A and B are shown apart, each in its own frame.
Chain A
């Protein structure tokens, strides 16, 4: 069940809120756990056992780690717990990919292929396994106490607002809220606002942008021209940002409605001027997860093993950064999807970070600021081509056309098929919304409410609040119209 679906918004959510707020405080966590399990089961009742296994593994691993003082014991159960978590992920997410590639290689030698049944990817497995690992590391490092209450740990792992697209909240951040949450009209209302804004970002911006991106990406290569290809990838870049950040906004909003406060996941990533900055602004909960549980431990252990010398003309610290970054981003790419294209996407990001670390960053810092943005966006768009393409070959074909090596001549009137007034309007809103402009404008509007003249102050307050309320209602109504539109299912044949 997606947050941006009629069923969630108009049946699951009202029922959840009613039961949650009508039940006694001590029962609220149990209620939330039950609705989270129903939410998960809705995507495939048979798959609920995977989530339950994940909860059990992490619960008992945590207990085992916490039941003794020995560091060795903690380490053993940390390793076991992480292996179990990763095993779940590998089995359900990567088996098909590995078998496919093994079959390709063995096929070269005429060996018959390994045949397996199609494995369905359980909903949110990448997110809840990472949350489980976060819990185990937190316990291992003794950042918080072991969670002995099964309900609370199960709720941490399965909490429905975060279950299928994050943010990947750290256990140490969420642990206090599992026990004690504050509820207020203000918090609920800010959750509603955030949820509706997220819904609008997804339904009213990301989805229309996806129409253009999909239209372009489905044009056969031999018919694609360079400007079309650029339009396609720019629209896709905006689509993925609004899609993902919209979903995060909805999760954060839902969290607030239920008394939680989740971490922010996006901070205007497209205003970045380097890849280093980009990863501080894009999918923050994932990048910090990789930093804390992979990059830093990897760098730390490598630095202990490598004598401090120069390798290939590189100082040890640079070499360690190079190795740790490459591995981290290779796995980060692989986390996004079981395909070579995601691996390449991750490698491009890792490569750019290494280049920036080795000196490119110093050079680009000297650029005129707009050029720094151009540098960043240009390479980012190239990486998005791999993210969007089905195969490496398709990505390279697309890039070839982007850089003018396609055979298709371009006619300007082709653009008008994509760029009609509605699409252009959404595109402009999307571009402006990916900067801080609207934030600044709302800051200016708020500053009027601090006017020394009471009449201006009172008027501004009402206008601002009424305007916000009207805007929120309007976008909720339009989003509902678009969600209803997805229910259409014509049976056209016998009209003829």
Chain B
């Protein structure tokens, strides 16, 4: 018996040595290597740091980052980790980026969470500065005879708090968005459209936000459109807002969105959505003017979009937007003779040169709630 035990001891010792040596040998000889870019993490993996005897302190951390990034079989191990965490522990495999809510709703972590919990705030001066910027813009557009509207696309947390995890609470003192909106409403010049209230009121019609993405779905996009166009109609009575019955929402299912990709479950967590089609569509893609996008902007093709309508008596619209506008564009362009949509790399600038050329009747500024502060980074005369 003792001899048998000894044999197993030897087997275990040898197995353990081989097991821990494989990654080490792989690091030396690179018989298996991961790609240098992680699609799932959306980043380039760390490179091996150079050893410099005169600069020792940062070396261990840099080397450890490299080692972690290039650990043998990292991708399959991450996939297995995601699976065990998500299905076995009901926990986000990447809790810094994604929170798992009730009924497998995924919520954006990071800034969204900090803003919602009141841990990230704009200072009073920053709020005043944003109000000032918007105020000046309103006056500038007004001087050109243009109607200007501002709206913020609310975070999923604001519309569907009931699906948040139990330890995830809204700041009792209000968020930075609450404070900014209060300041904007005090300013009599900035025409603000409150999408949050409109969306909450429309929840009864169906799910408005995606479960695996931080954006609204096309149904939510439609109700955001309704709130915007109803407000514009007060200034442009001739506008004919689309009704829900004017649109066919065909149910569809696709792979999970970016939040699902982040935790490695885009194939497993499907996104049930709708494919909208307008019964009597009048707008279509128009020729782009070819405005040059900022050189650092990753989605250059998305910088400028143009739509033209068969009815040329309608007013012209100019939109400064981010990704939230994707699901609203389809509807809004129906109400304008020409719609120019600019995604200016999250600067949310006044886009004065483009305005001078396009001469729109209406300018709409739509900002995703967590990105409101970005407006402060725009060059003053941009």
Which of A82-90, A97-105, A306-314, A469-477 contacts the other chain?
A469-477
Inter-subunit contact B71/A485 (CB<8 Å): no
The reply to whether B20 and A10 contact each other, CB–CB distance below 8 Å, is yes
List CB contacts (< 8 Å) of A454-496 with chain B: 457-458, 461-462, 465-466, 468-469, 472-473, 476, 478, 480-482, 484-496
Query: Does B275 belong to the interface (CB within 8 Å)?
Result: no
Residues on the B chain within 8 Å of A492, using CB: 42, 97-98, 108-110, 258, 262
Q: Point out the residues of chain A lying under 8 angstroms from B359, CB to CB.
A: none
CB pairs A–B below 8 angstroms (27 shown): A6-B71, A7-B63, A7-B64, A7-B68, A10-B71, A11-B67, A17-B17, A41-B60, A46-B56, A188-B13, A189-B8, A215-B166, A219-B167, A418-B166, A461-B5, A462-B4, A466-B8, A469-B12, A478-B84, A481-B81, A484-B74, A488-B81, A489-B43, A490-B40, A490-B262, A494-B298, A496-B323
Tell me whether B166 and A219 are in contact (CB under 8 A). yes
CB A392 to nearest CB in B, in angstroms, measures 22
Indicate if the CB atoms of A14 and B43 lie closer than 8 Å.
no
On whether A457 and B323 interact (CB within 8 A), knowing A10-B71, A45-B57, A489-B43, the answer reads: no
A113: Cβ under 8 A from any B Cβ = no
Contact mask for chain B residues 32-65; partner A; CB cutoff 8 A; 1 contact, 0 none: 0000000011110000000000001101100110
Give the complex CA separation of A222 and B215 in angstroms.
30
Q: Does A69 contact B (CB under 8 A)?
A: no
Q: Of B10, B43, B214, which is within 8 A of A491 by CB?
A: B43
The contact of A495 among B42, B63, B78, B167, by CB within 8 Å, is: B42
Question: Contact residues of B with A, CB < 8 Å?
Answer: 1, 4-6, 8-13, 15-17, 19-24, 27, 40-43, 56-57, 59-60, 63-64, 67-69, 71, 74, 77-78, 80-82, 84-85, 88-91, 93-94, 96-98, 102, 108-110, 165-167, 169, 172, 214-215, 258, 261-262, 298, 322-323, 368
- Which one of A196, A414, A420 lies within 8 Å of B89 (CB-CB)? A420
Q: Are A465 and B8 in contact (CB under 8 A)?
A: yes
Interface assignment of A211: CB less than 8 Å from any CB of chain B: yes
Q: Do A185 and B13 touch across chains, with their CB atoms under 8 A apart?
A: yes
Q: Is A438 positioned at the interface, with any CB of B under 8 Å from its CB?
A: no
Task: Output the least CB separation between A477 and chain B (Å).
Answer: 9
Q: Is A192 an interface residue (CB 8 A)?
A: yes
Known A-B contacts A45-B60, A422-B90, A484-B81; the reply to A490 vs B8 at CB < 8 A is no
Do A457 and B41 form a contact, CB below 8 Å, given A43-B60, A189-B12? Answer: no
Nearest chain-B residue to A189 (Cβ)? B9
Taking the closest CB of chain B, its distance from the CB of A211, in whole angstroms, is 6
**Bound CA span A350–B262, Å:** 49
With contacts A11-B67, A45-B59 known, is A465 near B110, CB below 8 A? no
C-alpha gap A493/B27 in the complex (Å): 31
Q: How large is the interface on A (under 10, 10 to 19, 20 to 34, 35 or more residues)?
A: 35 or more
Of the residues B13, B63, B261, contact of A189 by C-beta under 8 Å: B13
- Residue in contact with A485 in the complex, picked from B9, B20, B42, B78, CB distance below 8 Å: B78
Query: Which residues from chain B contact A124 at a C-beta distance below 8 Å?
Result: none
* One of A421, A461, A481 near B84 (C-beta < 8 A): A481
A-chain residues with CB within 8 Å of residue B108 when the two chains form the complex: 492
Q: How far is the CA of A484 from the CA of B368 in the complex (A)?
A: 34
A461 and B262: CB pair below 8 A? Answer: no
Closest residue to A492 on the B side, CB-wise? B97
Q: Is the CB of A484 within 8 A of B12?
A: no
A93 close to chain B: CB less than 8 A: no
Query: Using an 8 Å CB-CB cutoff, how does the interface string of A38-54 with B read, 1 for contact, 0 for none?
Result: 00011111100000000
B102 near A422 with CB under 8 A, answer: no
Residues in B neighbouring A417, C-beta threshold 8 A: 90, 102, 165-166
CB distance B214 to A469 under 8 Å?
no
Asked if A461 contacts B4 (CB within 8 A), the reply is: yes
Task: List the 6 shortest-distance A-B pairs measured between CB atoms, nearest first.
Answer: A485-B81, A189-B9, A484-B77, A487-B68, A495-B258, A422-B88
Q: Among the interface residues A14, A42, A219, A486, which one has the most CB atoms of the partner chain B within 10 A? A: A14
Question: Known contacts A6-B71, A7-B68, A9-B20; is A488 also within 8 Å of B59 by CB?
Answer: no
- Interface contact B78-A488, CB-CB below 8 Å: yes
Chain B nearest CB, measured from A204 CB (Å) = 10
B6 touches A223 (CB 8 A): no
Further pairs besides A45-B60, A192-B12, A219-B166: 18, Cβ < 8 Å: A6-B67, A185-B13, A192-B13, A208-B91, A215-B165, A215-B166, A228-B166, A468-B8, A481-B80, A482-B84, A484-B77, A487-B78, A488-B41, A490-B40, A490-B43, A494-B298, A496-B258, A496-B368
- Which residues from chain B contact A484 at a C-beta distance below 8 Å? 71, 74, 77-78, 81
Q: Is A220 an interface residue, CB under 8 A from the partner?
A: yes
| Complex: A5 Cα to B61 Cα, angstroms | 13
Q: How far is the CA of A146 from the CA of B21 in the complex (A)?
A: 39
Inter-chain contact A490/B97, CB cutoff 8 Å: yes
Assuming the contacts A223-B169, A417-B165, A476-B19, asked whether A485 and B82 have C-beta atoms less than 8 A apart, the reply is yes
| CB of A162 to closest CB in B, whole Å | 20
| A193 contacts the other chain (CB 8 A) | yes
Interfacial residues, chain A to chain B (CB-CB below 8 A): 1, 5-7, 9-11, 13-15, 17, 41-46, 185-186, 188-190, 192-193, 196, 208, 211, 215-216, 218-220, 222-223, 228, 414, 417-418, 420-423, 426, 449, 457-458, 461-462, 465-466, 468-469, 472-473, 476, 478, 480-482, 484-496
Give the Cβ gap from A379 to chain B, nearest Cβ, in Å: 27
Q: Are B56 and A45 in contact (CB under 8 A)?
A: yes
**Which residue from chain B places its CB closest to the CB of A42 in the assembled complex?**
B60
Q: Given A10-B71, A188-B13, A485-B82, answer yes or no on A465-B4 (Cβ-Cβ < 8 Å).
A: yes
How far, in Å, is A48 (CB) from chain B's closest CB? 10
Closest to B323 in A: A496
Partner of A496, one of B27, B40, B88, B215: B215
User: Could you tell me if B94 and A490 are in contact, using CB atoms closer than 8 angstroms?
Assistant: yes
Nearest to A418 among chain B residues (CB) is: B166
The docked-state distance in angstroms from the alpha carbon of A186 to that of B9 is 6
CA distance A14 to B67 in the complex (A): 15
Residues of B within 8 A of A6 (CB): 23, 67-68, 71
Contact of B41 among A465, A478, A489 (CB under 8 A): A489
Q: How far is the CB of A259 from chain B (nearest CB, A)?
A: 13
Closest to B74 in A: A484
Q: Chain B residues near A5 (CB, 8 Å)?
A: 64
Contact partners of A465 in chain B: CB under 8 A: 4-5, 8
A-chain residues with CB within 8 Å of residue B13 when the two chains form the complex: 185, 188-189, 192
Cα–Cα, bound, A152→B212 (Å): 58
Complex CA gap A5/B84 in Å reads 19
State whether A485 and B258 are in contact (beta carbons under 8 Å apart), knowing that A223-B169, A491-B41 are contacts in the complex.
Answer: no
Closest chain B residue, CB of each to CB of A191: B13
Please name the residue on chain B nearest to A204 by beta carbon: B84
Q: Which residues of A contact B11 (CB under 8 A)?
A: 469
**Residue among B16, B21, B81, B165 with the highest chain A CB neighbour number at 10 A:** B16
- Residues of chain B contacted by A468 (CB below 8 angstroms): 8
Q: Please, how many angstroms separate the alpha-carbon atoms of A491 and B97 in the complex?
A: 8
Bound complex: CA A357 to CA B85 (Å): 47
Q: Name, among B4, B19, B21, B93, the residue most crowded by chain A CB atoms within 10 Å (CB to CB).
A: B19
